[in-house]
Amino acid sequence: MAEMIKGNHAISEAAIRYGARLYAGYPITPSTEIMEYLSWRMPEVGGTFVQAESELAGINMVIGGAACGVRSFTASSGPGISLKQEGITQLYDEELAAVIINVVRYGNGIGTLYTAQCDYLRETRGGGNGDYRAIVLCPESIQEAVELVGLAFDLADKYRTVAVLMTEGALGQMMEPCTLPDFIETKRAPWGFDGKYSYKKVGIFDRDSMKEAVLMNEKHNAIKANEQRWEDENLEDADYVFVAFGLPGRSTKGAVKKLQEEGNKVGFIRPITAWPFPEEAFKKINPNVKGLITVEANATGQLVEDVALTVKKVLRADIPVYSLPYVYGIPAMKTIKADYKKIVDGEIKEVF
Amino acid sequence: MAKARKIPKIIEKPSSFCPGCGHGIAIRLIAECLEELGQDENIIFGIGVGCSSLLGGVLETDRLHCLHGRASAVCTGMKRVSPENIVISYQGDGDAYSIGLSETTNAAYRNENITVITVNNTNFGMTGGQMSSTTLQGQKTTTSPNGRDCSITGSPIKFPELVAQQFNVAYVARGSVTSPAKINKLKGYIKNALEAQINGEGYSVVEILSPCPTNWGMTPLQAFEKIDNEIVKEFPIGEFKKREGK
């Protein structure tokens, strides 16, 4: 039965039920309720909760838990996620499975407390030093966030990589009806440390970066081939296709419905995986489409880059790609509709 | 007649430390203690960045090469999820006391049931001998070419003393590798630290004064003399917090 629950609490409870048994983190708005909830909930299930002295320590405690094969995770926002980057690239490099929850807030530097999507490019390009990519999942609702927490842990285990749940401040703070999953049986990854050196590893001075590069590309290609997820509607018949994720994606879906009711031939793609980017969806797009439009909660337009690259790769045509970056917040359906008209009327120019 | 000393089983190959370095002795002692305590197949290391990294090439055990300074946080995660395993962080002074001072101190502050071994050679050895938080007043390094001026850089940090005086921990000691007698004493310290962890008594740390002839520009013997004549005056050896009832 669906119950009203706050987004951050739902994510926390879902992680417990999907077998997470170590959480370490540091308070920061708008993600703090996750650690508050886990501070009492994790001990109830015999798991580890540590309020770390810093974001750096928190992510490194996650590394310790993950190295022992235990489902481990952390959450943060804004500059907190920036601080975790050295740990995230280390998790990837050591092929440790872990989940990072980014409750995105707006701004550079210390930033603000507004809900936003300004971390898109950082999350989808790895974020820390090196060449890696993390799996990035972006929910539009609390129910979807709960389901994606489970998927994040499963994919992290399957590919021995980092999975990021890229949610948004508003989604963390708001309440919605949500059905929580059943408890799964917790078990340790077979490659986790047991003190007996059961799982042999290549010594740090015996590594072969050329071979590892081949394996890394194979891993990335497997994830791209198997794990693209999205929602779409009316792509085959559309003059204009909207692309948006998360809460702005949900708003865009509403705007698309209204525009269709008013006789406009529009469709949408809502990426659920931001990386791997859902390129497959673009194969369904009307080859005579007049343009693609991203709706984003950031200042400069970030998603538009992936859309333009995918149009080039999949549609092989010079189709205009527009961006509607609303800086922060969740754009109203009427705002999206009004800006759509401006695009059709040539008042807003394409980005690519 | 002297008995030939048996090489501990977990030592897989010879170390690649510079001639006269103290790390090899430190690692050998840790391996001997683990074997004598029956814990050599129940051990996870968090390894620091720097010369301490080379432990990874010597021991065949579960071990994770941690980010620079973060070993105490990684070891916290390991020990919390696997309390039945012995968890040791193995770090140098630059790693543990400069870039990692926060993680190192906070693990002690929480009284984590882990053992921290820090090898103090008073400089950043791996990167070629830069000044660290333990460099002595007047000591020349590549970033204090005229000798360390503590009036503008701060004075050598004494982590074991800090921990023993300020925090509720199980065991704190500092040893040296400059003579067989001191090595035997150091081995006793390491064993105490590990026993404290085995018995769940809490946090233990052993700092090891170690010669760095390469970066000090000395022969190994001169480096040993520097420790005995100069460094122990700044960093006295002994136990600063004994285990309760011991």
Whether the predicted pLDDT of B49 surpasses 80:
yes
DSSP secondary structure letter of residue B39: -
Is B175 in a helix, a strand, or coil?
Answer: strand
A131 touches chain B (CB under 8 A): no
Residue A202: the pLDDT is 75
A193 touches chain B (CB under 8 A): yes
Q: pTM of the prediction?
A: 0.97
Q: What are phi and psi of B14, to 5 degrees?
A: -60, 155
A64 dihedral zone (left: phi>0; alpha: psi -120 to 50; beta): alpha
ipTM value greater than 0.95: yes
CATH code of the domain occupying B23-241: 3.40.50.970
| Dihedral sign computed on CA atoms, order A289, A291, A295, A296 | positive
- By DSSP bridging, strand B204-209 and strand B171-176 are parallel
Nearest to A74 by CA among A42, A35, A120: A35
Tens of pLDDT, residue by residue over B6-39, are 899 999 889 999 999 999 999 999 999 999 999 9
C-alpha–C-alpha distance, residues A124 and A135, integer Å: 8
Q: What are phi and psi of B49, to 5 degrees?
A: -105, 135
| Dihedral sign computed on CA atoms, order A146, A150, A151, A152 | positive
Tokens of A262: 């008013």
What value does the mean pLDDT take over residues B147-166?
Answer: 98
- Is B78 in Cβ contact with A56 (below 8 Å)? no
A235 and A269 Cβ atoms separated by less than 8 Å? yes
Q: Which residues of B touch A203 (CB under 8 A)?
A: 56-57
Of B60, B65, B77, nearest to A24 by CB-CB distance is B77
Taken in order of first residue, the domains within chain A and their CATH numbers are 3-226 (3.40.50.970), 230-344 (3.40.50.920)
Of B56, B74, B80, nearest to A203 by CB-CB distance is B56
Q: At what angle do helices B71-81 and B101-109 cross, to 10 degrees?
A: 40
Whether the predicted pLDDT of B1 surpasses 80:
no
Q: Which residues of B touch A195 (CB under 8 A)?
A: 41-44, 61-62, 82, 84-86
B99 and B67 Cβ atoms separated by less than 8 Å? no
Which run of H or E residues covers position A75?
Answer: strand A72-76
Of A60, A94, A199, nearest to B73 by CB-CB distance is A60
- Is B44 in Cβ contact with A68 (below 8 Å)? yes
- Is A195 in Cβ contact with B62 (below 8 Å)? yes
Report the 10 Å Cβ neighbour count for B236. Answer: 13
Tokens 């070419």 — which residue? B145
CA atoms within a 13 Å half-sphere pointing along the CA-CB vector of B80 = 33
What are the boundaries of each domain within chain B?
Answer: 23-241
Residue B25: the pLDDT is 97
A206 and A236 Cβ atoms separated by less than 8 Å? no
Q: Which residues of A touch B74 (CB under 8 A)?
A: 60-61, 63-64, 67
Query: What's the pLDDT band for B4 if we cut at 50, 70, 90?
Result: low
Of B66, B78, B102, nearest to A193 by CB-CB distance is B78
B60 touches chain A (CB under 8 A): yes
- What residue of A is the nearest CA neighbor of B106? A53
C-alpha–C-alpha distance, residues A168 and A315, integer Å: 31
A121 touches chain B (CB under 8 A): no
Interface test with A, best of B34, B49, B64 (most A CBs within 10 A): B64
Query: pLDDT over 70 for what percent of chain B?
Result: 98
Query: What's the pLDDT band for B3 if we cut at 50, 70, 90?
Result: low
- What stretches in chain A show pLDDT beneath 50? none
C-alpha–C-alpha distance, residues B25 and A249, integer Å: 61
- What residue of B is the nearest CA neighbor of A51? B110
